[in-house]
Amino acid sequence: MKIIRAIGIACAGIVLVLAALAAYVAFTFDAARIKQEVAQAVLAKTGRILTIDGDLALSFWPSLGVKVDKAALSERNGKDRFAAFDAAHVSVKVMPLLSKQIVAERIELDGLKLVLIRDREGHLNIDDLLGGKKDNGEKTPPPEFEVAGVNIANAQIEWRDQKSGRTLQIAKLDLSTGRVAINKDGLHVEAFKLATRGQLDAGNFDLALDVPDFARKGEQISAAKVGLKATLKGATRSAAASLEVSDIEGPPQALRIGGITLDLDAQIGDKSLKGKLKSPLALDLDAGTLLLADLSGALALDMPGLPSRPLKLPIKGRIQSDYGKPAVSGKLATQFDESRVDARFNIAGTAPMNIGIELDIDKLNVDKYLPSADNKPAADRIDLSALKGLNANGNLRVGELQVKKIKMRNLRVSFKAAQGRVNIAPHAADLYGGHVSGSASINAAGNVIGLKQTLSGINIQPLLKDLADKDIIEGRGDVALDIATRGDTLAAMKKALSGNARAMLRDGAIKGINLAQSLRAAKAQLGGGDVTQQANVADKTDFSELSASFRIANGVAHNDDLMAKSPFLRLGGSGDIDIGNSQLNYLLKAALVGTAAGQGGKELDALKGVTVPVRVSGPFEKPSFKLELANLVNDAAKQRIEEKKQELQQKLHDNLKSQLRGLFGK
């Protein structure tokens, strides 16, 4: 609002100078003398230097007027250019001349170039044209002026705000009005129209402002309606917006506006957003604040992959802004499908912009709005460069959430983003019968991601099924992760994975092999070749408890402390899980124990005490299990010989003891 007001007053100041020029020319015409006298008068009145380098000509038809080419006006008490124009024409009404009155009829400007500046103290370089205070402190009256119409074409305007460091350049601007009157009572403008066009981010934009009637009388401002239309067109995107403000009334510090209505139609590629919003508006021009106390309306989002097209979003909320700082804050609520969303936000500054947000969602299934497998982009490149300019903090709370098939409840997330880094800490949720908590970090420099997670009481089988579509293990227990990676693709990140992990599960099973059944089948082959079988999801080996830890480097997780217990065997092992290449190379060691309980334990007495090696290898999708039985017969024979040896030693000991007792009578 301040820049529009400044532009209007600056234009009025220029028009006033031109009207004075017309007054001189109307009665006597000596171009050279008039140029000099007008320049002297302007200098004496405003402290600004007026130069006219072009022609000065008088016209008589269809109206009396003067035409000026190539003129410029300096800053106050300086030589820097404030304004310039290529051509100007001022016409005056003929009849008032008969009574020695000069009334400007129309003023036309072409090629206006205007520089508006606000210094660090907040003063404008047009304050002296606004009727402020003189250098001695006395208040100067505002200029009085009236014209039937103003037309400005092909204007270029530059706004420099030294207080905020912002600049704005308008390359082409056209302005026209009906009657304009400035006097001691105030300002009255009829039929104000402003249009500008230019280029923004490789797109062409058009902007049009329409004010049918505007008045300021004393401290009271009034306007029945203000209309603003904007369009943006580019190769792959377009947008059109229409804003209508109605029933404007009140002083600048408490301006009351009956309502504003915004219509929006935007499209980027095959995605579009349409909507209509409205609200009453309270505006304080002096303080630079506005309040949308009751914002309501609806948006419609359309894009491929949505479960229902378009996705309709009713909007309800409140927004307040201090555009002098600048700062915006508010709260918004919407509902779509089964989700209800409540958001509170605050935005401060522009470079950098600081964003704070609090987001509450009762239920959200993100998978419904993700592109299908057919519509996913071919490349999996991960670009985190957008984080480098993000300064934000906030909290997210979701009652029920599904993302990439992972289901969780009572999600609580806090995050902070600055200087290309995002820290997500703490975060916590209930999932798969247990609880998860931890932290995560993202660094756009190098695409580095870190994750620390503690999962407790988790039902591991449905979690892995949803997370990776793998059905390889059952059980409930605890998992801890401390990992990090980097890379610009998902494949690169898998191969760069490093860190540590550990797991402890209870009352579960290893899926894909039934060791009891496999050992029964292999029992007859002792001393023969190895036995290989493919994983079968219907087979499993039960365990009462299982624990393992992993050291991860370059995408390979190494383990050498596996420990699992079942009713008839004990499992150990060591090997590698190649996450980057989705390959397994692991040697399980199954040691049969002396029990007849469990999965066929009674039939395996011949192998009791023998360690059976089981090689697990191949791709994650279809691993193979190989029982390495070639040397198992030797191990079994050695075990039986050792048992017989111990049995004979025990018998010899017992016989010797009995004979000695008989010999000595004891």
| CA–CA gap between residue 644 and residue 303 (Å, rounded) | 78
Tally of residues, the chain: 666
281, two tokens? 């508006």
609, two tokens? 């005490």
| CA–CA gap between residue 50 and residue 83 (Å, rounded) | 10
Taking a C-beta distance cutoff of 8 angstroms, is the pair 617, 623 a contact? yes
Structure confidence by residue, pLDDT tens digits, 410-446: 999 999 999 899 999 999 999 999 999 999 999 998 8
Give the residue ranges of DSSP H helices in 57-206: 95-98
With residue 472 as reference, give the H or E element that holds it.
none
Q: Give the pLDDT mean for 238-266.
A: 89
Question: What single string gives the DSSP state of each residue in 501-516?
Answer: EEEEEEEEEEEE--HH
Categorize the per-residue pLDDT at 560 as very low, low, confident or very high, splitting at 50, 70 and 90: very high
Structure confidence by residue, pLDDT tens digits, 87-127: 998 887 766 665 655 667 888 999 999 988 888 887 888 87
Taking a C-beta distance cutoff of 8 angstroms, is the pair 206, 174 a contact? no
| CA–CA gap between residue 169 and residue 640 (Å, rounded) | 95
Categorize the per-residue pLDDT at 23 as very low, low, confident or very high, splitting at 50, 70 and 90: low
Q: Give the pLDDT mean for 182-189.
A: 84
| CA–CA gap between residue 570 and residue 603 (Å, rounded) | 17
- Specify the higher pLDDT residue, 611 or 584: 584
Q: What is the pLDDT of residue 659?
A: 45
Coil, strand or helix at 304:
coil
Residue 633 has pLDDT above 80, yes or no: no
Nearest to 179 by CA among 152, 149, 151, 213: 149
Q: Write down the mean pLDDT value for the chain.
A: 81
Peptide bond into 371 cis (omega under 30): no
Q: What is the pLDDT of residue 290?
A: 86
Residue boundaries of the structural domains of the chain: 1-184, 365-496, 505-630
Structure confidence by residue, pLDDT tens digits, 120-151: 887 888 877 765 555 555 555 555 778 888 99
With residue 181 as reference, give the H or E element that holds it.
strand 180-183
Q: What is the pLDDT of residue 169?
A: 77
Structure confidence by residue, pLDDT tens digits, 488-518: 998 999 999 999 999 999 999 888 777 767 6
Radius of gyration of the chain (CA): 42
| CA–CA gap between residue 574 and residue 135 (Å, rounded) | 89
Nearest to 190 by CA among 157, 147, 252: 147
* Highest-confidence segment of 2-6, 331-335, 371-375: 331-335
